[in-house]
A and B are shown apart, each in its own frame.
Chain A
């Protein structure tokens, strides 16, 4: 089973490489936005054409666990794509499923700071004291995404989804610099969560819904879950391996 997936996956990767026009930087964010707005929720690979999907025809995992409005989800999706864009190396955040990864994470322990100290009192703290908001991560995303749209309206008189890529970058940069007023949290805290969650979604095991078909790993030539390198670690030349995900590791399926 897993073997089959890997083969299809490799051919999909080649396809993406040859077709970087699908969502490349040349196309404005506006067009990209509409395409995605339509496609995202019923196509299991975002921008990827159906026949190239490595999985079977339906991926039931690609639905919303946390977000209630598609508009918020689309803003999130586009922000992740600016952080980790499609390019010559391969797919960007959307095609990898990163927005779904984040949505699912926000619904669970991560989003609710289950294993973190969340008792008050709360004070802003210095830059060296870390996370200090009373908001949980899922609330930080709510506040942050709303602010992105507000800021877009203010600066460009349009919704974040409708902006050109570079305009979206300007908004993101402002957030990163802490220059957007958010309720209960700094915008740089929100941006850092968004940035790291995007990288996490691109490269975590596909079991979490991101790193679609292990293509995040393939771009990086990271082989995923191998049990032993004892016979190869002494080798001089670089060794490229077909990646394996944790699913290949479970005996009962």
Chain B
């Protein structure tokens, strides 16, 4: 029997960037907030022996324990989905701060084009540029409306950056100056300039100087230690929820954090959500936590899964194309080119998670797509994140992956490879979606989330295009041998790609085709907010968290309004003939 606890005003499910932002903003307003996080607590003190590639970057100590719960995966609807038994393609966060502890910190704003992608694509290229199978939608909010929230996230995180000529327009400069120039970033910029592109430094959550944010939290100066993404920062120099919003929330005395608390269900009476059910993973005890407002901040996978397992919202059906929960799951493609330098060595073992330079000339609708049969693009960048020896053994394509030749080539090229890579946007397709698995269960006996996902024609064409553009830059940088990357036959769950999963609880203006409004409030359930990249109606050509942060601040504003007004905060615009 579950113990029913005393009611609180707000509960967040998960305490990473999104949960932390909601907690801080609402606790500052005087609301009583409880954060339920299923992992353990952690802070800078836990990271003093963190320079251990094997433990953290190979065995993934900071990430989700899959023995309790994973997802299942298949490429196509007619295939049997099987469990992702070990982490690979993406690295799910777990524990205080979520994936925000071990992220790189590259912090972007999606483009104005992204937020109105359907209207703008139709306007410029006609209504049927991609065809009917691509479920492209506007986000129900414009860039101008979202601009202040982007800045709010950047100020909280202290982001270090500089003007990006082709990026989203800014009303204010970055809070801190860009990171250091290195021979590698300089080389990229020189090449980009001579190709008439517009290079700039990547906006970074590894801070160029010590910074105090508006809430009075201090983030230190980055030391370029080379153990950044997949690791926690031993200096407190990476902007994380643990350095910013979580201490801010705790400092108000209105926020209570409960660790090891795994939420299994939202209590739903068909109209409103009355609270959540959770299990203390250390004692096995079950609790019901009643609340006025429930905020799902448990990342894409669990935001979708908890809704489906609690019977909330209309599940998406790819056959009839009705329903919304699980719809428009997107990911990303990673075109690029490796450059091999025979005569030079670079200090690639030094670096920081967001150190790098980029061009946006091939992103969004920054170039004319009239003569190509794909849309969008991606940011093309060189990064210097610190190459560690187990994970970095890039060799020319014709080299075997073991034996004498592999050994000597991988050692030879360890400091002689520079790669330019793009994050290619991911356009939703009717057959790429999330649903419940019919067979596999978590340790509580509840269905796992099932991912059905494969590359589309759009992905393949964009991949070829961007790989060629990246190769041009690498050639211009003076590489002796340049190898463009190729897309695999199908999406593969095994090798690491990115933790940029999006969609499933998408935002929009129309309750028939979207799950949440532009405050991330559920259309169907007024007191439930679903926050995260799950709200993205497609995935853009950048890392997601700058935009996730902006949406979380937007949602916080919505929750503040809801505390006063109740009811739906947005009038839905039903455009369709659907029933």
Contact = CB atoms under 8 A, between A and B. Distances in A.
Interface string B79-93: 110111110100000
A126 B79 contact: yes
Contacts of A88: 408
Of the four ranges (under 10, 10 to 19, 20 to 34, 35 or more), the interface on chain A belongs to 35 or more
A99 interface: no
Given A128-B490, A131-B85, A203-B53, A229 B403 contact: no
B218 interface: no
Contact of A205 (B54, B85, B415, B490): B54
A249 B85 contact: no
Contacts, number: 166
B54 A115 contact: no
B80 A131 contact: no
Given A219-B411, A220-B389, A233 B66 contact: no
Nearest to B66: A117
Contacts of B384: 233
A25 B404 contact: yes
Contact of B86 (A131, A169, A227, A235): A131
A221 B73 contact: no
A150 to B, nearest CB: 21
Contacts of B349: 221-223
Interface string A172-184: 1000100000000
A119 B389 contact: no
Interface in A104-140: 109-110, 113-119, 121, 123, 125-132
Contact of A85 (B83, B223, B226, B404): B404
Contact of B415 (A115, A199, A238): A238
A226 interface: yes
Contacts of A230: 180, 221-224
Contact of B49 (A131, A221, A239, A246): A246
Contacts of B79: 126
Interface in B344-358: 345-347, 349-351
Interface stretch (B26-34, B422-430, B491-499): B491-499
Interface string B470-507: 00000000000000000010111110000000000000
B51 A116 contact: no
B164 interface: no
Contacts of B347: 229, 232-233, 235, 238-239
A67 interface: no
B84 A130 contact: yes
Which of A89, A117, A118, A236 gathers the greatest number of chain B CB atoms within 10 Å? A117
A231 B415 CA distance: 19
B234 A128 contact: no
B405 to A, nearest CB: 10
Contacts of A204: 52-54, 58, 390
Contacts of A25: 404
Contact of B80 (A123, A221, A239, A249): A123
A204 B69 CA distance: 28
A6 interface: no
Contacts of B88: 130
Given A117-B83, A217-B389, A128 B491 contact: yes
Contacts of B401: 195
Interface of B: 48-49, 51-54, 58-60, 65-67, 69-70, 73-75, 79-80, 82-86, 88, 180-183, 221-226, 234, 345-347, 349-351, 384, 388-390, 393, 401-404, 407-408, 411, 414-415, 439-441, 488, 490-494
Closest 7 CB pairs of A and B: A204-B54, A228-B223, A229-B350, A203-B389, A238-B345, A225-B51, A117-B70
29 contacts: A83-B403, A85-B404, A87-B407, A89-B411, A117-B66, A117-B67, A117-B83, A128-B75, A130-B493, A131-B85, A132-B82, A132-B85, A199-B390, A200-B54, A200-B390, A204-B52, A204-B54, A204-B58, A207-B52, A208-B54, A221-B415, A222-B388, A224-B51, A229-B226, A229-B347, A230-B224, A233-B182, A233-B347, A234-B181
Given A128-B488, A199-B390, A233-B384, 4 more contacts: A87-B407, A117-B66, A131-B86, A234-B183
